Amino acid sequence: MFQVRIHGRGGQGVVTGAEMMSIAAFQGGRHAQAFPSFGSERTGAPVVAFCRMDDHEIRLREPIMEPDAIIIQDPTLLHQVDVFSGLKKDGYILINTTRTFEELGIGEFVKGFQPNHLLTVSASELAQKHVGRAVPNVPLLGAFAALCKLISLEAVQSAIDEKFKGAVAQGNKAAAAEAYNTVMNQAAKETQHA
Amino acid sequence: MLEQCEGSHAVAKAVALSRPEVICAYPISPQTHIVEGLGEMVKSGDLTPCEFINVESEFAALSVAIGASAAGARSYTATASQGLLFMAEAVYNASGLGLPIVMTVANRAIGAPINIWNDHTDSMSMRDAGWLQIFAETNQEALDLHIQAFKIAEELSLPVMVCMDGFILTHAYERVDMPSQEQVDKFLPPYEPRQVLDPNDPVTIGAMVGPEAFTEVRYLAHAKQMQALDLIPQIAAEFKKEFGRDSGGLIKTYKTEDAETIVIALGSVLGTIKDTVDDLRAEGVKVGVLGITSYRPFPISAIRDATANAKRIVVIEKCFAVGIGGIVSRDVRSAVRNRPQPVLTVVAGLGGRAITKTSVHKLLLDAIADKLELLTFLDLDWDVVNRVLDREKSQRRSGPIAEGILRDMGNLATQVV
């Protein structure tokens, strides 16, 4: 089982992001379960959503306390919420930011993690560019697809089509694709250098 | 067809496939997405013929459903928590009049203190109201139970409450197998009422009944629920024949055959318990699970038979009767009466407190080591409790309890889960 915890703020599409991730995993033939942290939703308040994926039926209903991957939609949460709580040592960290892990002040903390499991993406900027609103959930999903390789870009695109229509769907699909391709190209370059 | 969707959406579609003719809606979390989904289907013409009636309260929602059902329409509504309490008088009327309304209860705690999260206090408060109560373990089962519920209700001419855990199921995205309209039509024939308000054949429904006949009317309500003990498994078998799935029935067992310890629970927590049982089995601990699907009628014989060889029974319930203890476990005790096996009550998951595998694992090992008391509150924070008790001892104006506890605990926004 692979477990993802998404941290963000009310209005950033955290819950929708987890739901789309589960749809993408389902498209890929997996069992998936997405659920919110069930708080009283308020714009700007910290929000958590979860997604589990497995090749078997998922029966477990507890919140994800030891995630395999953490997606942080708003880096200001780093100073407010213990977002890395329970993250496995070989886990993945994906942050929506234009800064580096060092610049975010967590360079020391992430030293114990595998470098190719750490990723920052300027998801808000990508969303602003393609959708006209800085809602980072979909570009992060594209980046997650490239980072963890558990869901395909095509499945993400298809999940976007289930959730959105018309121009919003088109914009989100373009944003997901650019995030995905940026991460893949970056990874390819790093492999060449290595 | 397989699809990945929200539990509320799955239920809305299952209700629509059952061709309700009247839907009464009043919003309350965590049920709202269900009636919203149905509202959209009626508006778009996908669900027709169907009257979607926005009402002014839960009391009105069920009252309108009663009127519609008495007029011969297949009627549906949904509610939760305080909403169910607000319609309490109509809840008794629907069953007393024998009207086969189906109502979803998206299980949620009852205040005060106000709390929107999941537990079973709401539907348990109506356990003696004469409705059948069936509990869903997964979204697939919630979907399936709604289709079965209309059939059960109409066969008996009694209302059925389909209980599904609020948020944990209603707001969870997972895989469901959505049946086709043809399949549902084949399984669920059009509603043929036993009693109907028909101007061409006028009758009275709801007459006053005095001491001369009230006991008989009440006894017949009980007799019908006893009939349901045969009908519910029969309809589950018919359902399996048509849809190929095990859903519904009175109880379901998991690894109970040789189990020395049997855990009994209702609803979505059964999944977490089954995972814990697998872990314990791997350690060589003989433990199994019994899920109660039909809570009303209460399947005394089925539970008695399924637990015959167990050394102990642990009932994990998301509700409790203040001043005495367990609710489900008291019913389980009556099922296993005259047997030496202890029935241990564990109150868990109140107001959305997560029931974790770690806690259930430790709990069951404690039960097996005879370290559990008859009444246990899972993961109760004694420090928090004792601080309040100390404050009440030391000062007369100790203040409101809930707010005092929140102050003691500090900033909760920093917590992850």
Contact A36 B116 (CB under 8 A): no
Which positions ≥6 away from A101 have C-beta within 8 Å?
A95, A107, A110, A118, A120
3-state secondary structure B180-225: CHHHHHHHCCCCCCCCCCCCCCCCCCCCCCCCCCHHHHHHHHHHHH
List CB contacts (< 8 A) between B416 and chain A: 5, 7, 48, 65, 81-83, 85-86
Cβ contacts of A125-129, under 8 Å, gap ≥ 24? A125/A98, A126/A175, A126/A178, A126/A179, A127/A172, A127/A175, A129/A175, A129/A178
Chain A residue whose CA is closest to B165: A61
Rounded to a whole number, what is the distance in Å from the CA of B324 to chain A's nearest CA? 28
Smallest CA–CA separation between A99 and chain B, in Å? Answer: 23
B68, burial (CB in 10 Å: exposed 0-12, middle 13-18, buried 19+): buried
3-state secondary structure of B66: helix
Is the C-alpha dihedral spanning B189, B193, B196, B198 positive or negative?
positive
**CATH number for the domain that contains residue A165:** 3.40.920.10
- Residue B11: in which H helix or E strand, if any? helix B7-17
Query: Tell me: the pLDDT tens digits for A1-33?
Result: 999 999 999 999 999 999 999 999 999 999 999
State residue A38's pLDDT score: 64
**Contact list, B414 vs chain A (CB under 8 Å):** 80-82
- CA torsion sign for B298, B300, B305, B309 is positive
133-172 in chain B: CB under 8 A from chain A: 167-168, 171-172
B276 touches chain A (CB under 8 A): no
Q: Which among B275, B356, B416 has the least Cβ separation from residue A59?
A: B275
CB A134 within 8 A of CB A142: no
Q: Which of B291, B155, B160, B132 is CA-nearest to residue B231?
A: B155
Q: What's the distance, CA A40 to chain centroid?
A: 22
Rg (CA), chain A: 15
**B329 within 8 A of B343, measured Cβ to Cβ:** yes
Looking at chain B, how many residues does it have?
417
In angstroms, what separates the C-alpha of B104 from chain A's closest C-alpha? 19
What's the CA gap between A188 and A191, in Å, rounded?
A: 5
Q: Does domain B2-243 have CATH number 3.40.50.170?
A: no
Contacts of A182 (CB under 8 A, 6+ apart): A121, A143
In this structure, the number of other CB atoms found within 10 A of the CB of residue A62 comes to 19
Per residue in B212-232, pLDDT (tens digit) is: 999 999 999 999 999 999 999
User: What is the rounded distance in angstroms from the CA atom of residue B183 to the CA atom of residue B150?
Assistant: 15
CB contact under 8 A, B274 and A83: no
Q: Show the CA angle centred on residue A35, arms to residues B44 and B107, nearest 5°.
A: 75
Tokens read off for A67: 């995630």
Give the model's pLDDT for residue A39.
65
Task: List CB contacts (< 8 A) between B417 and chain A.
Answer: 37, 48, 63-65, 85
Q: How far is A191 from chain B (nearest CA, A)?
A: 35
Q: Do B168 and A35 make contact, defined as CB atoms within 8 angstroms?
A: yes
CATH 3.40.50.970 boundaries in chain B: 2-243
Residue with tokens 């470098």: A115
| Chain A residue with the nearest C-alpha to that of B137 | A59
Query: B173 and A40: CB-CB below 8 Å?
Result: no
Which of the residues in chain B have pLDDT under 70?
411-417
Give the pLDDT of residue A192.
76
Measure the CA–CA gap between B205 and B379, rounded to whole angstroms: 49
CATH no. for B251-377: 3.40.50.920
Q: Is B348 on the interface with A (CB under 8 A)?
A: no
| Contact assignment for A35 to B172 by CB distance below 8 Å | yes
Question: What count of CB pairs under 8 Å joins A to B?
Answer: 87
The Cα A109–Cα A37 span in angstroms is 26
pLDDT on residue B415: 60
Q: Does B411 touch chain A (CB under 8 A)?
A: no
User: What residue numbers bound the domain in which A164 lies?
Assistant: 2-193
ipTM of model = 0.96
Cα–Cα distance, B163 to B147 (Å, whole number)? 13
User: How far is B187 from B243, CA to CA, in rounded Å?
Assistant: 9
pTM metric for this prediction: 0.96
Give the count of domains, chain A: 1
SS3 B240: helix
> A7: which chain B residues are within 8 Å (Cβ-Cβ)?
416
Sign of CA dihedral B308, B314, B316, B319: positive
Within 8 A of B141 by CB-CB distance, chain A residues are none
3-state helix, strand, coil in chain B (%, to 5): 45, 20, 40
- B174·A18 Cβ contact <8 A: no
What backbone torsions phi and psi does residue B173 show, to the nearest 5 degrees? -90, 120
Closest CA to B151 of B50, B236, B93: B236
Per-residue pLDDT, A40:
62
Gap from B397 CA to chain A (nearest CA, Å): 31
* pLDDT score of B413: 53
How far apart (Å, rounded) are the C-alpha atoms in residues B278 and A133? 46
Mean pLDDT per segment of 10 residues, for chain A of length 194 residues?
Answer: 96 96 98 86 87 98 97 94 94 97 95 96 97 96 97 98 96 98 90 71
Q: Are B13 and B139 in contact (CB under 8 A)?
A: no
Residues in Cβ contact with B154 at an 8 Å cutoff, skipping those fewer than 6 apart: B74, B100, B191, B192, B193
Are the C-beta atoms of A155 and A121 separated by less than 8 Å?
no
Q: Residue B349: closest CA among chain A residues belongs to which residue? A: A62
E strand residue ranges, chain A: 2-9, 31-36, 46-54, 69-72, 92-96, 118-121
Q: Which of B3, B4, B268 to mutate to test the interface with A (most CBs of A within 10 A)?
A: B4
B413 in reach of chain A (CB within 8 A): yes
The per-residue pLDDT for A190 is 80
